[in-house]
Structures are given as structure tokens and as C-alpha cells.
Chain A
Amino acid sequence: MRKVMSLLALALTTVTLLSPPTRAAETPGAPADLHFTLKDQNGHEVALSSYAGQILVLEWVNMDCPFVQRHYREGTMKTLAQKYAAKGVVWLAINSTHYATQADNKKWVQQHALPYPILDDSSGQVGRAFDARTTPDMFILQHGKIVYQGAIDNDPSGRKGPQAVNYVARALDEILAGKPVSIPKTRSYGCSVKYNR
């Protein structure tokens, strides 16, 4: 059975490669590819598919990126992750920076006392599958489908202060209230993801 599954997966992969470059990430509502397993900062394997039944937030991260550094100084991600963890939302950070190591991720988790793991995707395979382009780039998944993709908020330069609208918080509030996400896609901003080539 497993053999059949992997053959099927291979066949699907081939089809994906041949089809025109319209990716799941471009179409909120499309099912996300969750068949990836990544290692967290302690070397433990995390299968994305194990969260398919939950509300899952994926955050693309790069500690060398000033946009990410600002949000971590301000505690944007940590505050949201803590607030929504209480409501059953799972938060995972993914680092697709080609030169970032598990040790770098561990240091960052410890330094900021993060309540969520940072997953090592230095090969870039998950980032590419989701078409993550910037750090940060935010995805919210519900029932394995992408219901939000884009910016963390509407404040790229960080000058709006309390006037900024946090798109992720807004979408999570709507999801938890059983409503459709009113703004399912925005322009993410940040540094380009430093993929390997």
C-alpha cells in the first residue's frame, strides 16, 4: 500500500511539474500540500500532515531579515501564537533560508522564548511548494486548505503602530467565529526568501 501511495505521490508530483505555474498558494481555498516532514530546532521530526485537522498557521522566518527582526522585537508573532494557542490554533515557523541551521533556529527559539517551533527547511522544498516569497509570509490552513496567504499586517515599514491592521489576527478571529475569511489574500512584504538555487 505504501508503495502504491508513493508511486501515486510521484505521479502527482510529475503532473504538478508539467502543469502551468499556477500554484496552490496563489489560490486561497485550494488544498495545501502537507506531505512534508521537517525537523524542529531540537531535531524532532514534525509532519505537517499531522495538523491537517486543525487550524494551522505557517510563518516563514529568517532571523537575518530586518522585517522579521522588527516583528520579533515587537513580539508580534509570539503574542498572536500564544493568544490563539488557547483556542486550539497551531503555529509553526518555517525557515527556508538556505544557510540557516538547526542550531540557528534553536538559538532564536531560546532567545525569544518562543512557544512554537522553528522548522528547518533549508533545502527550500516546503517554501517552494507553498510559493513562499518573503519573510515574513503567512499562511493559515483550515481542514488542510489555505484560507489566508499574505502579509502579517498592512504595515511594511512599521510606522503605523496601533493603527496597523493585523491580517492574520483578523482571519483567525473570523475562522474561530465560523465565518469565511473576508480578506483571504494580501501582498506579503519583507525580504525575499533566501532559497538555495
Chain B
Amino acid sequence: MTPLLLILASLVAINPVPAKAPAPVQATLVADRSAAVPGQTLRVGVRYDLEPGWHIYWVNPGDAGLATRVQLMLPQGLTAGPLHWPLPRQFVDTSGDVRIVSFGYTHQVLLWSDVQVPQDLKPGAQVTFKVHTDWLMCKEKCIPGQVDLKLSLPVADAAQSAHAELFKTWQERVPLDGPSLPSQNRWAAAVQNTPPQRETPGRVHAEITWPAAGGTQTQPRTDFEFLPMADPSLLLSNTKVTPGPHHVVIEFTYQGVDPTKALPASLPVVIAYRDARHIRHGVALVLPLASR
């Protein structure tokens, strides 16, 4: 360490900044373009930076927690697609026989929408994006957090990319849509569904397969996880994940919370796995529930 740095370090030690504990989660509004270009799409989202040990929650928080919420308020004429949710990790608390499973993010995550900029926007003008986001952050204890954010961009004929690495990193972690993958890697679910009857819960047995890439041996896939999307009208139990060499079987029982109401026709789910290089991936599928 140079003498100057030593002096600086000792100054800091002697005269510390008045202590206001930093919030465990910082939220920042970001866009992937330096300007809004008429007729083009840009991505606008919230980057959450978390202190070590803390986590926030996925769209389905699981047995405990609360989904992170992003409300994007757009300038007139702009439209946004749905929020993209990268593959979350699982948190499992166990005590004796009790197993509490929740889903969320540690360290960092980006939640964003694709925003369509209309043709008739005039270069030289400015667009302002406003976001309200709230979340529940938990370490051992949980604290609610919320913030209102603003980001202004010029309207221009051309734009440079911004936060390219950040968007690339998180785009790669969004679960792929299984049925619309290229045919050599398309995921399919063969579902046997026994609908619920009176006191007996319904039962789903889903054999999920993917073709061998390029006709060669299927790459090993391990560490399968079943992540159902949130549906408060539905109770899932007895979840079982059975991996096979070229498929994985997902089983669960289900019933509606309110017996007087119709069950949802399907359940969107994410299957997570690790590839041969131990990299974790997610594939989104929709499992039919109600009998037709």
C-alpha cells in the first residue's frame, strides 16, 4: 500500500462517515439503449443489488415470502410486454419433518420488460419511465422494501447499447419456452391427469422429454427441480421429481382452494436442471390440469 493510501485509510478509520446502515437491497432503473428510437424496442428494467445473505422473491415466492413487484408507468404511446423473470434459486428451510421451500434471488437480479417505442415519436423529445417497485427482503428476518424510480431518455434516430453485459447475463437466465425451442432441443410433456373428485385430490403424472441433440447421446442432465408458477386458487402437494436417462417425471397432487370454483385449465411450470458443465438452466412448460 502506498503511503498516501495508508493516510487515507487511517483518516477513514479515525473519522468514519456517520453510520446510517445501507439498505440490504438497492434498486436501480436501467435501459439497454442510450435513447428511445422510434419504431424500435428497448428493454427497461430494475436491477436489484443485494447485500450478502439477503434474498428477494420470484413471481411465485413458494411456501413463504412475497413476490417482488414492478409497476412500470410508461410515457404515452409506449407499450410494454410482460416482466421477464430469470430462473430463481430454491431456498429450503428444514426443521425436523417441516420443509419450507421458497424461490428467489441472492446478490443480484434484473427484472425487465420489452418496451415498444412508437413510430411517431419525434427525435429531440424526451421520454421518462417511472417505476414503483416493492419487495420483501429476508435474511434471518424479513423487511419490506419499496422505491419509486425515474429514468429519462432522449428520443433519437439512433441509440447506443447500454448495460449490454447486464442484460445479456440476465436474458440468458430466463427459462426457455420448452415447446417453441428448435426441434432438435424441443421439450414436451406427456401428461396423465386424474381430475380431483369430491374429497380425492387430482393427480398429475408428467413425463417430460427432450430429443437427443443431433441424434447423438443426450447430454446428461442432473439436479432437476420443479418450480410451479403461483396460483393462489390451487393447492399442490406430494410433489415428486424422478429423473431418468432421457426424461424426467414430475408428479404432484392438486386441488382447488374453493370447491365451488372451477379449477384453472393448466399450470405453468419451470423445470430447472444442470447440464454436463454443471450450468443451471430453466425450461418453461404448461401442464394441462382440467379434464376436457
Pick from A131, A154, A192: contact of B97, CB below 8 A.
A131
CA–CA, A67 to B93, complex, Å?
19
Inter-subunit contact B63/A21 (CB<8 Å): no
A contacts with B, residue count (CB < 8 A): 33
CB distance from B231 to the nearest CB of A (A): 9
Inter-subunit contact A182/B260 (CB<8 Å): yes
Residues of A within 8 A of B95 (CB): 124, 128, 193, 195-197
Report if A114 contacts B (CB, 8 A): no
A-B pairs with lowest CB-CB distance, top 3: A195-B95, A192-B64, A128-B96
Mark interface residues in B135-151 (1 if CB within 8 Å of A CB, else 0). Answer: 01010111110000000
Residues of A within 8 A of B61 (CB): 189
Residues of B within 8 A of A124 (CB): 95-96
Report if B98 contacts A (CB, 8 A): yes
Report if B257 contacts A (CB, 8 A): yes
CA–CA, A157 to B232, complex, Å?
13
Inter-subunit contact A192/B232 (CB<8 Å): no
Pick from B63, B138, B232: contact of A154, CB below 8 A.
B232
Jot down 24 A-B pairs with beta carbons below 8 A, ordered by A: A64-B142, A65-B142, A66-B144, A127-B98, A128-B95, A128-B97, A131-B97, A131-B98, A156-B66, A182-B259, A182-B260, A183-B257, A183-B258, A185-B257, A186-B235, A187-B235, A189-B61, A189-B64, A191-B141, A192-B100, A192-B138, A193-B95, A195-B95, A197-B95
Inter-subunit contact A192/B63 (CB<8 Å): yes
Residues of B within 8 A of A182 (CB): 258-260
Residues of A within 8 A of B238 (CB): 22
Within residues 159 to 197 of chain A, which ones have a CB less than 8 A from any CB in chain B? 182-183, 185-187, 189-197
Report if A106 contacts B (CB, 8 A): no
Report if B40 contacts A (CB, 8 A): no
CB distance from B86 to the nearest CB of A (A): 22
Residues of B within 8 A of A74 (CB): none
What 16 new A-B contacts, CB under 8 Å, besides A132-B98, A192-B65, A196-B95?
A21-B99, A22-B238, A64-B141, A65-B141, A67-B66, A124-B96, A128-B96, A128-B97, A133-B64, A133-B100, A134-B64, A150-B257, A157-B66, A190-B64, A192-B63, A195-B95
Mark interface residues in B42-83 (1 if CB within 8 Å of A CB, else 0). Answer: 000000000000000000010111100100000000000000
Residues of chain B having any CB pair with chain A under 8 Å: 61, 63-66, 69, 93-100, 102, 136, 138, 140-144, 232, 235, 237-238, 257-260
CB distance from A179 to the nearest CB of B (A): 13
Residues of B within 8 A of A191 (CB): 64-65, 138, 141-142
Residues of A within 8 A of B99 (CB): 21
Report if A83 contacts B (CB, 8 A): no
Residues of A within 8 A of B257 (CB): 150, 183, 185-187
Residues of B within 8 A of A21 (CB): 97, 99
Instruction: Tell whether A66 pairs with B136 under 8 Å between CB atoms, given A192-B93, A193-B100, A197-B95.
Output: yes
CB distance from B292 to the nearest CB of A (A): 26
Residues of A within 8 A of B102 (CB): 192
Report if A45 contacts B (CB, 8 A): no
Residues of B within 8 A of A67 (CB): 66
Majority secondary structure, B binding face:
strand
Residues of A within 8 A of B96 (CB): 124, 128, 195
Residues of B within 8 A of A189 (CB): 61, 64, 66
Within residues 43 to 82 of chain A, which ones have a CB less than 8 A from any CB in chain B? 64-67
Pick from A22, A66, A133: contact of B143, CB below 8 A.
A66
CA–CA, A156 to B258, complex, Å?
17
CA–CA, A128 to B95, complex, Å?
7
Closest B-chain residue to A124, C-beta based?
Answer: B95
Inter-subunit contact B235/A128 (CB<8 Å): no
CB distance from A104 to the nearest CB of B (A): 13
CB distance from A197 to the nearest CB of B (A): 6
Residues of A within 8 A of B141 (CB): 64-65, 191, 194
CA–CA, A66 to B95, complex, Å?
22
CB distance from A31 to the nearest CB of B (A): 16
Inter-subunit contact A133/B140 (CB<8 Å): no
Inter-subunit contact A66/B260 (CB<8 Å): no
CA–CA, A22 to B63, complex, Å?
16
CA–CA, A150 to B99, complex, Å?
16
Pick from A23, A66, A132, A196: contact of B142, CB below 8 A.
A66
CA–CA, A194 to B95, complex, Å?
9
